[in-house]
Amino acid sequence: MRKHLFIAVAMLAASISVHAAKVDGAPAPECDGLKIATGPAGKGYSKVFADIKKSCGNVVPVCEVTTTGGLDNLNALSTKEADVGIAQVDTWATMKSGDENVAGLQGVVGLNFNYLHVVTAANGFRVAGEKKFGFLKGDDKTISIQRFSDLKGQRVALVGSAALLGRQIDRAMGYGMNMVDVDNDTKAFDMVRKGEVAAAMSVSGWPSGSIAPLKQDSGLTLVPFDVPANNPQYAVRPINYKGLGVYNNNALAVPNVLFTRPFKGEKAQDVSKLRQCLTEKLQELQEGNYQPAWNEIKNLSNTYDIPKFGGVQTVAGKGRK
């Protein structure tokens, strides 16, 4: 009987420290503003940051802290390498059980969705036949992955935040996937082309900066997520990639939140200014020449189960000049 997708925080707490990574980059030491942890250059979080800087950088200075994604961002906030950072709500829900600093983070605004992209070989991959009678080998065969559930027992490459999400799904479903962590999408996609893995899982907003440029002659494609999302934090939503000729491909969608540390002084005033600016500029961000991610936001004040950032009252004669 098919199990429903149910991500249980407690059953995965022990695996968190294994997959948490260090921040890849850091802002310039002279950064006079909010340090915002994002993700790899060219991917969703970094593109959202670019829009934030363009729209609100004149209200409050912001600097980018480049990481591998949401899991790193929570770590960067915990270790004070960043003041603000973007992460998925489920990542925070899992991480908070093992880090009191992460548990104490607050939600500034609700953002767009992240999508689990499942990249496979467009024409399948070959597997050597099994040995017979100790020395003879059977015929090679080609395995084609058509949907997420076809990955039962297969070897899969995980990139960034997919290192956590992929394992959560695998444990919940009991698929027994053999998972290997990979530094970036380029390496993971190359492993798929070579038949070293059956699929690569990458988490990003839509469109993904590493998947959108791919064409149908890349040897890669996307397959649909066909497992019911039985968790109120998740949804299954269709995404399109014209270059790959993939349309209405169902993907697991997880909401993002802009997190901050519980500041009380000048930094709290800066975070309040940033929140106010994003609230005022949301329509411009949705209708102007900005990322499509902004159009997914229905309510900036929705931070799901994350405690909301309270802000501070500006004290006369104090604060950023």
Domain boundaries, the chain: 11-114+256-296, 116-253
Tokens representing 214 are 């791919």
Residue 217 — φ and ψ, nearest 5°?
A: -90, 10
Quick check: 30 pLDDT over 80?
no
Strand ranges (E), 122-241:
125-127, 131-132, 136-137, 141-143, 155-159, 178-182, 199-204, 220-222, 235-241
CA angle 149, 162, 34 (to 5 degrees): 150
**If you average pLDDT over residues 132-146, what whole number do you get?**
74
CATH superfamily name and code, 116-253? Periplasmic binding protein-like II (3.40.190.10)
Q: Give the integer Cα–Cα distance in Å for 278 and 109.
A: 9
Q: Give the integer Cα–Cα distance in Å for 252 and 234.
A: 7
Strand ranges (E), 23-152:
34-37, 62-65, 84-88, 106-121, 125-127, 131-132, 136-137, 141-143
Q: What is the mean pLDDT of the chain?
A: 87
8 Å CB contact between 198 and 156: yes
pLDDT at residue 134, as a whole number: 58
**If you average pLDDT over residues 78-86, what whole number do you get?**
97
Q: Do domains 11-114+256-296 and 116-253 have the same CATH topology?
A: yes
Q: Give the integer Cα–Cα distance in Å for 146 and 278.
A: 40
Give 17's pLDDT tier (boundaries 50, 70, 90).
Answer: very low
Q: CATH assignment of 11-114+256-296, given 1.20.1050.140, 3.30.390.10, 3.40.190.10, 3.30.750.24?
A: 3.40.190.10
- Of 25-34, 98-107, 278-287, minimum mean pLDDT range: 25-34
Higher pLDDT, 117 or 139: 117
pLDDT at residue 2, as a whole number: 39
Q: Is 194 helix (H, G, I), strand (E, B) or coil?
A: coil
Tokens representing 72 are 């790193």
